[in-house]
Amino acid sequence: MLENQLQTYFGFDGFKKGQKQVIEKILAGESAGAIFPTGAGKSLCYQLPAMLLPDMTLVVSPLLSLMKDQLDFLISHNIPAARLDSTLGPEETQAIFDKAKNGLLKILMISVERFKNERFRFHLQNMRISLLVVDEAHCISEWGHNFRPEYLNLPYYRQEFKIPQALLLTATATKQVADDMRLKFDIPEKNVIATGFYRENLYLQVTPCPASEKNTRLLQRIQKKPGAPTIVYVTLQKTAENVARFLCENHINAAAYHAGMQHPEREAIQNRFMDGSLSCVVATIAFGMGIDKRDIRRVIHYDLPKSIENYSQEIGRSGRDGELALCEVLADRDGIHILENFIYGDTPDKRAIRQVLQTIAENDGFIWEIKLFRLSSEVNIRPLPLKTLLVYLAMEGVIRPKFSYFEDYTFKYLQGPSWILDQFEGERKQFVRAVFDHCHTKKIWTSANISDILANYQTDRRRIITALEYFEEKGWIELQAGQTVEVYDILNQAVDMERMTETLHTLFLKKQTQEIDRIRRMVPLFESTSCISRGLAAYFGEILDFERCGHCAFCKTGPVRLPEPAALRSLSTFDFTELTAEFVQAAGEYLTSGNLAKFLCGIHTPVFMKLKARKMSTFGRLEAYPFMEVIDWISRHRKNTPEKTSID
């Protein structure tokens, strides 16, 4: 019986809601999906089947820390599991490959990028895999709140490596997202098990609060129980720091946490929060994913969350022990423009899209190799939307991803090159000499120029890399992989440039509308004239069988009104020429209405690095204004000065 196996392998007395249904589907040889709230035990849906299926289970997870927790759990239950990541040395990596190929591993955890790695792909051909698990599977849907373009390739990888079954796990998916992700993996609707979003121990408080009063309100709230584990969510890194400092000055044991901080520092904060020596973390959304702390008593949104999906996930981290927890939004409308502006910043203009198409059209031959960051600054599209564009191009049949590799390998000699050379004889010696001859040493690091070696010696990439890895294994050099190069097949070099630009730009606009809409649906939820718990569940397609939960702002005190944003002085009162002079002078070919609006709204875009835009005194001067209004204002002015009219 399944219950016995659950007991044997993991020592649990029974299944949690939904687990058994999902596991039964998998054991019947089908694919399935699990939509359970955070902390509800999604991982077990693959962990138990992994022990019962004939071959290995491959788990794709977006976050290293998620993998680490799951791996620790598995190892502690003597389950043969491993994770591949870039921190492992070559010997450790090889040992994992060997085990996997010999059937000695039950679970292997990887990141999605790993599928593009040459060496991994090579070994994967020889592994037998029963099940592909996608954790945080909403990342695969463009309509999800955390779209990761690389995830769109997962269904193809599944085909390529002939993995019979798939299991998708997520905590938050609207009906649209759930359908989208299951269809991509051919999972029938009845195989997607959702357990519901309603949590009766969470008090959903919405406190109308103008920006100027937030600090005081927050402090008052925390002072009621200064030691209670609390997460305060903010939008911007600098807010995280300012609020944490304010709390510390008022004797609250708090620390900031955001993606701009160094990894060790972040880890230390997370550990202190976990063990209770730090009571309050003021964080951007970088914090919390994968944290399994059961006694979080308060989740306070100092700024509006990014979306209802984010809200649901973030509050879901509180009260996992089943005890009461407070989820409070200090709500005003001021932050909405900032959230929206992030989105506008991610929509490339037509000029940039056309430039990418141009690059493809002019490429010599049908193999297209790119370095993401270089292309990003060349065409002025941020890395994430550029990845999205590449996926769109693949969907439109223009390109097809092949694989990626590390372009240059750099290393440090731990033994002199002539000494290393002396370890070899005959052809091998010639080969090693050819490699070293085309290495270039700066002060400490030496870089191997692979294409130069290939041009001068009859060999292939694989042999060169194997040699460098061998030297490292021997302790003769210390090796570092360089920048990733993504390799695509060009399927159609003769596209109608204008039409394709239009098509792609329309796709981005559609995405932009969706995301703006996602933000705009949030305020009505908080100002709801009916139960907020019901509204929240309904957003995810679940109808609760009661009218009032009794523990949300509406049920407790009636409908809430958010304060109106502080009145802004009309744009027409600004001096256009004065505000734009600096940028116009520096921008050159990058002078488009879109870039100018981004500049004035303080939205970063790659070319601003080159232009040193952030250093200009007018950068971000219209930060508080909605992007669309600024664009309109610019267009009106530029119409009157035709020589500056932009094509976009």
User: Of these, 16, 68, 371, 637, which contacts ligand ADP (CB under 6 A)?
Assistant: 16
CA 225/CA 347 separation, integer angstroms: 44
> Minimum Å distance from CB 135 to Mg ion?
6
Amino acid at 219: L
From residue 25 to residue 44, what is the string marking binding to ligand ADP with x (rule CB under 6 A)? -----------x-xxxxxxx
Other residues' Cβ atoms within 10 Å of the Cβ of residue 250: 15
Rounded to a whole number of angstroms, the minimum distance from the CB of residue 70 to Mg ion is 7
Is 587 a residue that touches ligand ADP (CB under 6 A)? Answer: no
Tokens of 518: 């996602």
The distance of closest approach from Cβ of residue 475 to ligand ADP in the complex, given in angstroms and rounded to an integer, is 39
Which C-beta is closer to Mg ion: that of 133 or that of 439? 133
With both helix axes pointing from N to C terminus, report the angle between 383-395 and 350-361 in degrees, rounded to the nearest 10: 60
Residues 6+ apart with CB under 8 A from 519: 306, 307, 336, 339, 340, 343
- Min dist CB 91 to ligand ADP, Å, is 31
Total residues interacting with Mg ion, rule: CB under 5 A: 1
- Residue 40 binds which entry of ligand ADP, Mg ion, none, with Cβ cut-offs from 5 to 8 Å by kind? ligand ADP
Segment 72 to 131, residues that bind ligand ADP, using CB under 6 A: 73
Tokens 């599977």, residue?
A: 137
Residue 36 contact partner, candidates Mg ion, ligand ADP, none, CB within 5 to 8 A by sort of partner = ligand ADP
CA distance between the termini of the chain: 65
Total Cβ atoms within 10 A of residue 368? 22
CB of 110 to ligand ADP, least distance (A): 17
Identify the burial level of 64 via C-beta atoms within 10 angstroms of its C-beta, where 0-12 means exposed, 13-18 middle and 19 or more buried: middle
| b/e sequence 407-429, b meaning 16+ C-beta within 10 Å | bebbbebeeebeebbeeeeeeee
Per the DSSP assignment, residues forming a β-bridge with 110 are 60
Task: Rank residues 76 and 262 by Cβ distance to ligand ADP and give the closer one.
Answer: 76
Binding partner of residue 41 among ligand ADP, Mg ion, none, CB under 5 to 8 Å per kind?
ligand ADP
3-state helix, strand, coil in the chain (%, to 5): 50, 15, 35
Q: Could you tell which of Mg ion, ligand ADP, none binds residue 16, using a CB distance below 5 to 8 A set by kind? A: ligand ADP
* DSSP code of residue 204: E
Q: Whole-number minimum distance, CB 40 to ligand ADP, in Å?
A: 5
**Strand stretches in 36-176, DSSP E:** 56-60, 81-83, 107-110, 129-134, 165-170
Minimum CB separation of residue 68 from Mg ion in Å reads 12
Q: Is 167 exposed, middle or buried (0-12, 13-18, 19+ CB in 10 A)?
A: buried
Nearer to ligand ADP, 69 or 396 (CB): 69
| Shortest Cβ 167–ligand ADP spacing (Å) | 12
**Nearer of residues 260 and 276 to ligand ADP, judged by Cβ:** 276
Minimum gap (Å) between residue 59 Cβ and ligand ADP: 11
Q: Which stretch binds ligand ADP (CB under 6 A): 9-17, 197-205, 211-219, 465-473?
A: 9-17
Q: Which does 292 bind (CB under 5 to 8 A by kind): ligand ADP, Mg ion, none?
A: ligand ADP
List the x/- string, 275-304, binding to ligand ADP by CB under 6 A.
-----------------x------------
Nearer to ligand ADP, 42 or 199 (CB): 42
Among 11-19, 109-117, 356-364, 418-426, the segment contacting ligand ADP (CB under 6 A): 11-19
Backbone angles phi, psi at 276, to 5 degrees: 90, 0
In the complex with ligand ADP, the residue whose CB is nearer, 42 or 511, is 42
Closer residue to Mg ion (CB): 61 or 528: 61
Provide the H-helix boundaries in 102-153.
118-124
Report the nearest approach of Mg ion to the CB of residue 199 (Å). Answer: 16
Residue 46 or 625: which CB sits closer to ligand ADP? 46
Q: How far is the CB of 163 from Mg ion (least distance, A)?
A: 20
The dihedral region occupied by 434, where left means phi > 0, alpha psi between -120 and 50, and beta the remainder, is alpha
Size of the site for ligand ADP (CB under 6 A): 14
Residue corresponding to tokens 């089908």? 30
Structure tokens at 53: 């299926």
How would you list the strands of the sheet with 477-481, edge to edge? 439-441, 446-448, 409-413, 477-481
- Nearer Cβ to Mg ion (93/111): 111
3-state helix/strand/coil string of 336-386? HHHHHHHHHHCCCCHHHHHHHHHHHHCCCCCEEEECHHHHHHHHCCCHHHH
Which span (14-22, 106-114, 213-221, 550-558) binds ligand ADP, by CB under 6 A?
Answer: 14-22
Nearer to ligand ADP, 16 or 101 (CB): 16
Contact 54, 130 (CB under 8 A): yes
Structure tokens at 186: 């051919």
Nearer to ligand ADP, 321 or 396 (CB): 321
How far is CA 613 from each of CA 168, 529, 576, 582, 607, rounded to the nearest angstrom? 43, 45, 17, 9, 8
**Per-residue contact string for residues 20-59; x = within reach of Mg ion by CB under 5 A:** ----------------------x-----------------
Give, as ranges, the residues between 358 and 387 that touch ligand ADP (CB under 6 A): none
As measured in angstroms, the least distance from the Cβ of 42 to Mg ion is 5
Measured from the CB atom, the residue of 59 and 555 that comes closer to Mg ion is 59
CB of residue 387 vs Mg ion: minimum separation in angstroms?
Answer: 24
The total number of residues shown for the chain amounts to: 648
How many helices and strands (H and E) does the chain possess? 28, 20
Q: Kindly list the distances between the CA atom of residue 571 and the CA atoms of 166, 220, 463, 635, 638, in Å, as whole numbers in the listed order.
A: 53, 37, 63, 13, 15
At closest approach, how far in Å is the CB of 5 from ligand ADP?
12
Backbone angles phi, psi at 615, to 5 degrees: -80, -15
Is the CB of 316 or the CB of 401 nearer to ligand ADP? Answer: 316
CA distance 259 to 384: 16
Rounded to a whole number of angstroms, the minimum distance from the CB of residue 171 to Mg ion is: 7
For Mg ion, which residue has the nearest CB? 42
**Binding string, residues 41-70; x marks residues near ligand ADP by CB under 6 A:** xxxx--------------------------
Partner touching 15 among ligand ADP, Mg ion, none, CB below 5 to 8 Å by kind: ligand ADP
Place of tokens 């600024």: 630
Residues that bind ligand ADP in the complex, under the rule CB under 6 A: 12, 15-16, 19, 36, 38-44, 73, 292
Residues that bind Mg ion in the complex, under the rule CB under 5 A: 42
